[in-house]
Amino acid sequence: MRKIHNTGFQMAAILCSVFFLFPFYWVVISITKDISQLYEGTFLPGVPSHMIDNLIGVFGFNHAIFLRWLGNSFLFATMGALLGTFFAALAGYAFRRYAFIGRKLLYILILGFSMVPAFATVLPLFIIFKNIGLLDTRWCIIIPSIVNIFGVYLMIVYFNQIPQELFDAAMIDGAGDATTFFRVGLPNILSGFTTLLLLSFVGVWNNYFLPLVLLNSSEQFPLILGITTIRSLQGFPIYNLVIMGAFITTLPLLILFLVGQRFLAPQLTGAIK
């Protein structure tokens, strides 16, 4: 009976793996095809030379605007991840160290706001940035990316795991808040900090809806939005270039997860505990 159960579980795991990996396989074989071969409906790779042609085509599209989109994506994701994670860590440190008035209420609000869908804030952000003249600029993407409510909650959880004795020892040695944060707090939550950094980078990199609403100039687009505008002079999508652009969009995230995957599973498990 147990053997049947294990076999069924393994089959289900294999089917789930195929289900999630098949779209990536389809993208990989599609970048080796020209636009006519994409409509043949086969799941076999095309000609390798077509992959080079698609690569040249996507980077040369519209005066190499693809490079600008790529740079915008790295700017948005890097700034949002670094600053957002750093400010979240500062907030987590403050919650751990100080018993200020309204602390519990603020913690409840953080939990509540972390459950609000991100798209629910897009309309207020649109109105705010329009009124202050930042609409259709890079700042209207960077500034919201810095605010990471879930990151604040995660950092509170990690800072609460640091023994009070370490903070007391730092205080006895005469360390101020900055020294305590950088030399006591941050080293002890470094794995959690790195985990949040990776998740934040991926979240900002994959953010499609916010740039769609707040940006109008194609020069300001991130990569994930820009590739949807790759069209011919007649207005039809150039699908072989779009697919190549989508493949390039996934590469930084794959590399990032391969490098940082050792932080993710154990640290997220620790955060849940």
pLDDT of residue 244: 93
64-272 is classed CATH 3.40.630.30: no
pLDDT of residue 80: 95
- This prediction has a pTM of 0.86
How many Å apart are CA 213 and CA 216, to the nearest integer?
8
* 95, 108 contact by CB (below 8 A): no
pLDDT of residue 34: 85
pLDDT of residue 271: 45
Instruction: Pick out the chain residues at pLDDT < 70.
Output: 1-6, 262-273
- In sequence order, what are the beta bridge partners of 237? 231
* 214, 140 contact by CB (below 8 A): yes
pLDDT of residue 81: 95
Q: For 225-260, what is each residue's pLDDT tens digit?
A: 999 999 887 788 889 999 999 999 999 998 888 887
Ramachandran sector of residue 155 (left: φ over 0; alpha: ψ -120 to 50; beta: rest): alpha
Q: Which residues contact 134 (CB under 8 A, 6 or more apart)?
A: 140, 143
pLDDT of residue 74: 96
Task: Domain ranges for the chain, please list them.
Answer: 64-272
pLDDT of residue 263: 63
